[in-house]
Structure 1
């Protein structure tokens, strides 16, 4: 009898171990975009700081096998991978990869369509500008019209000035918080791949600004916890999430967490913790990010 019970426990234990490893592998199987962002940051430094573009290409290729690519602001990792690969005659997937890039740049199309090098690259692989424009139009049609209309109203409301106080209204922020909660429950995070960045009527809808105002109301703690899931899923860029947290820190005169709204003195005083926190959410160290920003601004000023 005892030996039977012992054998039963051994079998149960075996299945529990298998279950644990299955759950762990599911969590790590291409779903943790914080890991993705940290990999991008590491690869970015290989070509930006070490001038080793060929190694960066190999690492990018491996990364994009495991994750659907993003093309984050000022990093443009997927676009850089394609451009570098083309420059060094490395296979990046040709037309298939170029078509995959279009939805990632489509939210910024008003500016991107002025990039003549972008169209030259597509033409080189047999994709003309008319086809590119058609793909952007298809992307626009794929957006969630109900959400776009709801957030168009929310962004207009967000910027409205109270006639009595001359300030933006906390009640409006609360209404927008209710919309965001409803959206998370019914559609997930309202990313640019769901609502775009600007409506046809020209209403600008940057979620970074929207989240900034979530730091000023009672629902902040809910969003602080809940939205980390969407950073991990790749729907919410870390920088947008950090904007909300640091706004709360700033309003309440708390110790900096990520340092994006802090003075140089505050950052230097606690740089080890700040950089650790930044890595935990998928951001570069503060010093590296500052250098990237300087380079970005310099490159854009020379284009004008």
Structure 2
């Protein structure tokens, strides 16, 4: 009876705790994550403290599902460093988390076979997991965006009338996707579409700067940056191009290639931090090899 009484009071507390931590995990702000990654990356590359970087990455990945951003490649860096310094990164479990992060980049898994094999994962299993990942992509979106990217580059965008027409159609597709499926992230549609169509999102969004839907895209993409679905660079690229070419103002993030130089680097870096971008002095540096 005493045991039942204890369960009667503890049970609801456990449920409340589970809901609290589930909501906390779900509502994590990835801008905080990206800024923390930038700080840890500095610990490793600038301060040359790899073991401290491993420790800090481990803490970060306990709170956030890892991303593996281009150039920094934080999760890959963490695993390679941990392996190099014989620190625990979760072994097989940690490597299984890496597979979907590298899966969009066809053939990239080959360079990891040695590491996978070291922890008991053979190449057949890696390839099977990548195949399973591909099966899990949203087929409807893959089909739609494969067509959209072909349409986006029709006639090399040299026909203004056709270009504007196609941009309007793609804007409608993007808005429909946002409203029905959320952000068309690399984990939803991959990077290579039907018939080998290359599908990086940043050029598609940079062509939305004249669309009447631009304010909607800007608002929603910022939300997706916070949720970890849209990478900060894609959002910044679109906003910078819009402000530079449409508003005729300085780029807030300094990310869009332009002949116009950024005047106030301190100000720009502060704004970049607001969406999780690294400071300009580091963002353009080539990634060190482990």
TM-score, normalising length from structure 1? 0.83
Q: 2:178 maps to which residue?
A: 184
TM-superposed deviation, 1:49: 0.3
Classify 1:86/1:176 alpha carbon distance in 2 versus 1 (closer, same or farther; 3 Å).
same
Classify 1:274/1:120 alpha carbon distance in 2 versus 1 (closer, same or farther; 3 Å).
same
Q: 1:161 maps to which residue?
A: 155
CA distance in 2, matches of 1:31, 1:178: 29
2:123 pairs with 1:151: no
Across the two proteins, how many residue pairs are aligned to each other? 269
TM-superposed deviation, 1:109: 2.2
2:102–2:109 contact (8 Å) kept in structure 1 = no
Q: CA RMSD in A?
A: 2.3
Please list, as runs of the form range in 1=range in 2, the aligned pairs for 1:25-174 lying within 5 A after superposition: 31-110=28-107, 112-115=108-111, 118-161=112-155, 165=159, 169-174=163-168
Q: 1:288 maps to which residue?
A: 282
Q: 1:258 maps to which residue?
A: 253
TM-superposed deviation, 1:261: 2.8
TM-superposed deviation, 1:101: 0.5
The runs of at least 4 aligned residues of structure 1 exceeding 6 Å deviation read: none
Greater mean deviation of Cα atoms: 163-172 or 85-94: 163-172
TM-superposed deviation, 1:198: 0.5
Q: List runs of 5+ in structure 1 lacking aligned partners.
A: 1-21, 300-304
Q: 2:192 maps to which residue?
A: 198
TM-superposed deviation, 1:165: 3.4
TM-score, normalising length from structure 2? 0.87
TM-superposed deviation, 1:216: 2.6
CA distance in 1, matches of 2:156, 2:95: 46
SS in 2 for 1:258: coil
Higher Cα radius of gyration? 1
Aligned equivalent of 1:210, options 191, 204, 226? 204
